[in-house]
Amino acid sequence: MEKNVIIGRITKVGKVKDYGHSWNFGRTWQPCYKFFIEVDSNKGKVLAMVECEAKHTDWGLKIPEEADRQKPFVGDVVRFTTHRLRDTDKPEDRAKWASVTFNQSFEIIEKDEQARKERDEWIEEQKALRQTGRI
């Protein structure tokens, strides 16, 4: 089976969520962490769910810094592979769905430094508000 190689710019990114399932007759939970991305790519608009590592923190699920797969920012350019591109339920979207499991590759090939700078500034503002007691 031939893999599809997708290269494109991120237009939307979702939060990391647990899409796991119970097994062993409901006694055990098998986690499966994923995040959503929308990519304007060489194959048109592609919507993808990307498997990743995650840990529970006080602020929700976060991807560890040492993990190979990091969540991209809007504006980043990514390259990933998928086995199959499927049409969406709404043909007017002209989008395709992809699933990027750990068996496929995923990498950020160009980072949007402006987005990272804005995030760091926002974090500093939130810390300052928290220290003054406004939050």
Domain residue spans of the chain: 4-132
Q: Using alpha carbons, select from 1, 3, 2, 6 the residue that is nearest to residue 95.
A: 6
φ, ψ of residue 76 to 5 degrees: the values are -70, 155
Here the tokens at position 15 are 């939060």
When pLDDT is averaged across residues 17-31 and rounded to a whole number, the result is: 89
Residue 132 C-alpha from the chain's centroid: 33
Residue 29 has pLDDT above 80, yes or no: yes
Residue with the bigger pLDDT between 26 and 95: it is 95
Residue-level pLDDT at 87:
83
Note the pLDDT of residue 98.
93
Q: Please state which of the four CATH numbers 2.120.10.10, 2.40.37.10, 2.40.50.140, 2.60.40.10 is assigned to the domain occupying 4-132.
A: 2.40.50.140
Q: Are strands 60-62 and 55-57 parallel, antiparallel or unpaired?
A: antiparallel
